[in-house]
């Protein structure tokens, strides 16, 4: 865990402070209180510590992005330190003898201890029925009003049906630029073909991680006339420096996806990231992703470490899981099939299998399944127009022009 402690204006003005801020997991700011009830003065202080527009932006509800993926603690004081105990016990004279820097250091130590806490559920999102391509019916989980994005994740679609009419028209030729698509097939067969000569068939259990980069035109069409078609497509943003790289693929069949069994009753397909000594085949240094297909039997527990600064979510697609530390008791949240749980700050995820919770179905499976996904936030401006994701409006205009002129 990296800790940043800013205890003076000189420190805050130091050019190194911005680099330290971007690398830190926990930021403790020691600042005199004065009239910090006035938002503009608080904003002015924050401006000296970070750079508006780069690490955060102002919104109607206050600064946004400052604490994204980080734990930020501001130790305020009136010339000394304000650290009251129980109501009525605050001794201003005694507290004034302490320095803001000292208090900030104490808070920093507490923050370091807390950083190992299990991640809790901060939001539950239900997928929104929609259609895409030539009429394929699916559920959009990320990229809809309830959850527009979760940096670096731009979209998550779940498709799953036994009705051929819901998927048979597929996704004819369409372009992409500036991001990555990850297709994970659970059931069915899908043929992929692009304008650079790449072609292949995704079968059950296979994964395709496509970096669109500077531009690609491709199609995704069913290779079956009937039967079940089920899987996920996830969109991940690319940093500005990589948006115009050459397109590339990381494509793996089911036999290339390793299986970890970290505990009794727990089986994890490791697509990206690591579970114990098992490492997934996907590599992307920009976002350092974790992508796990987790199967947990009722009563079984799975605890997994995630980098503290990474955004993370859990999407349950079979059964139900309880999310949270065992010691949290009722604070552990039940997440049912069809629900996405946004996970808060921390370094571990703790899951408990509970597929029969809230159901009277005695035939319910004894095993629950979910995808656990995490990645390093990019904290860059997002300019988005359909299948193009860039950093500025001007770049979007250029992307449309390049596509129309056949430059992909």
Binning pLDDT at 50, 70 and 90, where does residue 70 land?
low
Judge whether 217 lies within some domain.
yes
Q: Which positions ≥6 away from 90 have C-beta within 8 Å?
A: 84
Helix, strand, or coil here: 329? helix
Residues 270 and 355 in one domain: yes
Q: pLDDT tens digit string along 207-221?
A: 999 999 999 999 999
Which of 24, 72, 17 is CA-nearest to residue 49?
17
For residues 218 and 259, membership in a common domain is answered with: yes
Instruction: Provide the pLDDT confidence category of residue 187 given band limits of 50, 70 and 90.
Output: very high
Tell me, yes or no, whether 260 lies in a domain. yes
Q: Are residues 292 and 308 in the same domain?
A: yes
pLDDT tens digits, one per residue of 115-129: 458 999 999 999 999
> Residue 160: inside a domain, yes or no?
yes
- The model's pTM is 0.73
Residue 357 confidence (pLDDT):
74
The mean pLDDT of 256-272, rounded to a whole number, is 98
Place of tokens 């391509």: 133
Residue 399 lies in a domain: no
Residue 270 lies in a domain: yes
| Domain enclosing residue 41, as ranges | 3-114
What Cα–Cα distance (Å) separates residue 121 from each residue in 281, 355, 369?
A: 28, 18, 17
The count of domains in the chain is: 2
Those residues with Cβ within 8 angstroms of residue 104's Cβ, 6 or more apart along the chain or in another chain: 5, 6, 7, 28, 29, 30, 73, 75
Residue 48 lies in a domain: yes
Specify if 404 maps to a domain: no
Q: Report the CATH number at residue 282.
A: 2.60.120.10
Of 56, 79, 114, the residue that ends a domain is 114
Is residue 266 in some structural domain? Answer: yes
């Amino acid at each position: 865990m990296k800790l940043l402690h800013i205890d003076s204006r000189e420190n805050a003005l130091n050019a190194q402070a911005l680099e330290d801020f971007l690398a830190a997991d926990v930021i403790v700011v020691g600042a005199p209180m004065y009239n910090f009830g006035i938002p503009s003065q608080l904003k002015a202080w924050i401006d000296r510590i970070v750079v508006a527009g780069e690490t955060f932006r102002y919104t109607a509800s206050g600064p946004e992005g400052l604490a994204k993926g980080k734990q930020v603690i501001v130790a305020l004081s009136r010339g000394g330190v304000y650290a009251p105990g129980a109501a009525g016990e605050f001794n201003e004279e005694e507290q004034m003898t302490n320095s803001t820097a000292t208090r900030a250091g104490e808070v920093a130590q507490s923050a370091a201890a807390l950083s190992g806490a299990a991640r809790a559920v901060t939001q539950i999102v239900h997928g929104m029925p929609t259609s895409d391509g030539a009429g394929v019916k699916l559920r959009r989980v990320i990229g809809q009003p309830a959850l527009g994005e979760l940096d670096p994740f731009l979209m998550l679609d779940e498709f799953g049906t036994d009705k051929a009419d819901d998927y048979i028209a597929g996704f004819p030729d369409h372009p992409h630029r500036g991001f990555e698509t990850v297709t994970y097939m659970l059931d069915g067969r899908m043929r992929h073909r692009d304008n650079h000569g790449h072609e292949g068939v995704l079968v059950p259990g296979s994964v395709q991680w496509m970096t669109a980069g500077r531009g690609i035109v491709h199609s995704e069409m069913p290779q079956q006339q009937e039967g079940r078609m089920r899987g996920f497509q996830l969109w991940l943003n690319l940093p500005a420096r990589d948006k115009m790289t050459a397109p590339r693929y990381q494509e793996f069949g089911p036999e290339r996806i390793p299986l970890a069994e970290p505990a009794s009753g727990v089986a994890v397909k490791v697509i990206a990231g690591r579970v114990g000594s098992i490492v997934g085949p996907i590599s992307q240094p920009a976002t350092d992703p974790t992508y796990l297909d987790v199967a947990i039997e009722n009563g079984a527990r799975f605890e997994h470490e995630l980098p503290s600064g990474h955004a993370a979510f859990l999407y349950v697609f079979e059964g139900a899981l309880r999310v949270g530390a065992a010691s949290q008791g009722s604070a552990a949240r039940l997440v049912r099939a069809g629900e996405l749980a946004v996970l808060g700050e921390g370094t571990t995820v703790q899951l408990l299998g509970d597929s029969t919770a809230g159901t009277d179905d005695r035939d319910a499976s004894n095993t629950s399944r979910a995808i656990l996904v995490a990645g390093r936030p990019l904290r860059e401006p997002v300019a988005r127009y359909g299948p193009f994701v860039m950093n500025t409006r001007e770049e979007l205009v250029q992307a449309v022009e390049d596509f129309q002129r056949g430059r992909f």
